[in-house]
Amino acid sequence: MGVRKRFAGLKGWSNDLEKFPTILMIPISIMLNLIAIFPLFILAYAAVTDWSPSTGSWFNANIIWYGNLIRMAEDTIFQMSIVRTAAIVLIATALEFAFGLILALLFVEEFRGRRILISVFLLPMMVIPAVSGYMFFMIFGSAGPINAIISILIGETYTLSWLTLPNYALMATILMDVWQWTPFMFLILLSGMLALPADPINAAKVLGASQFTIFRRVSMPMMKRIIMIALILRSIECFKLMDGIYIMTFGGPGYHTQTISMWLYEAAFRYLDYGFVSAVALVIFVGLGIISWFAIKPLRGG
């Protein structure tokens, strides 16, 4: 009887030890949640006001409720920056996925110098976005290498100022993002391909399936979750694109390369329209959250 009581006591003590790490995590969890919730609360409050630092303290700002939403519907520059950002995200992410998938297929098999080449292809991802923006500013300048190559091909001096033309400037910004972040897609897709189970692929080879059939019918379905995660992560990051474009074109010519991040920066720090900016930021936050939720929803199955 005494042994049973002693064993029961040890078992209860063991259960308490298992709960101890959870108890230690409670204070830090509360602190992290407060750090996240408090700024969100301030953002939601500022979004229904006309607060500007030039008019006084934020807690004395006038409540205008849905007034900022009406301003969003009337501000054509804001609307175009949203449309332009969405276009950049769609085009750049699609190109990055296509090039990343091609590179992953080329490097999935072992060959001499493979590791060195992978390291070389990952280098653009290590470059600071502002530096990549300056690089492409020089490349597409009137005296840059693009014009130099064209001059050699046509046999006369060619000095087109690419970044002063709306369509070409937008194309250059997309190319900058594709150059820098294709390695991100390449790395994720290559890791996914290397982690695929070998048995289904070997079975398909034994049955006489071609490499393209194996890729389309076996490898791609197994990589569906990895592909979705890569596309979601890259799309969200691309939506925040600002540094490189700011260095390349400063949003110009006119507003033709201004993204939503640049619009927010200009409205907040040039015009000090914090209430309106808070409303826009809150709408974007909620919108991206809803889109991400629906994008991730298919991945929750078995």
On whether residue 80 sits in a domain, the answer given is yes
Q: What is the pLDDT of residue 180?
A: 93
pLDDT of residue 165: 87
Q: What would the two tokens of residue 217 be?
A: 């019918």
**Contact of 41 with 285, CB cutoff 8 Å:** no
pLDDT at position 97, please? 94
Q: How far apart are CA 219 and CA 215, in angstroms?
A: 5
Q: 98: domain CATH number?
A: 1.10.3720.10
- Rounded to an integer, what is the distance from CA 165 to the centroid of its chain? 27
Please check whether residue 81 is in contact with residue 98, taking contact to mean a CB–CB distance below 8 angstroms: no
Cis, peptide link before residue 298, omega less than 30° from 0 = no
Question: Which residue bears the tokens 């250059």?
Answer: 172
Q: Is residue 125 part of a domain?
A: yes
pLDDT at 182: 93
DSSP label at 256? T
The residue among 72, 79, 118, 89 whose CA lies nearest residue 278 is 72
pLDDT given for residue 13 in this prediction? 52
Instruction: Determine, yes or no, domain membership for 112.
Output: yes
The residue whose two tokens read 């991206």 is 288
281 within domain boundaries: no
CB atoms within 10 A of CB 153: 9
Find the domain containing 199 and state its range. Answer: 75-271
Scan for tokens 């060195």, then name that residue. 116
Examine residue 53 and state whether it is found in any structural domain, yes or no. no
Backbone angles phi, psi at 248, to 5 degrees: -70, -55
Q: Is residue 249 part of a domain?
A: yes
- Position 7 scores a pLDDT of 44
What pLDDT sits at residue 171?
A: 92
CA angle (54 as vertex; 271, 251 as ends), nearest 5: 10
Q: Residue 75: which residues within 8 A CB-CB, separation 6 or more?
A: none
Count how many domains the chain has.
1
For each successive 10 residues of the chain (302 residues), what is the average pLDDT? Answer: 49 58 78 80 84 75 83 88 92 94 89 88 89 91 86 84 87 93 92 85 82 84 87 88 88 86 88 87 87 76 54
Phi, psi of 210 (to 5 degrees): -75, 165
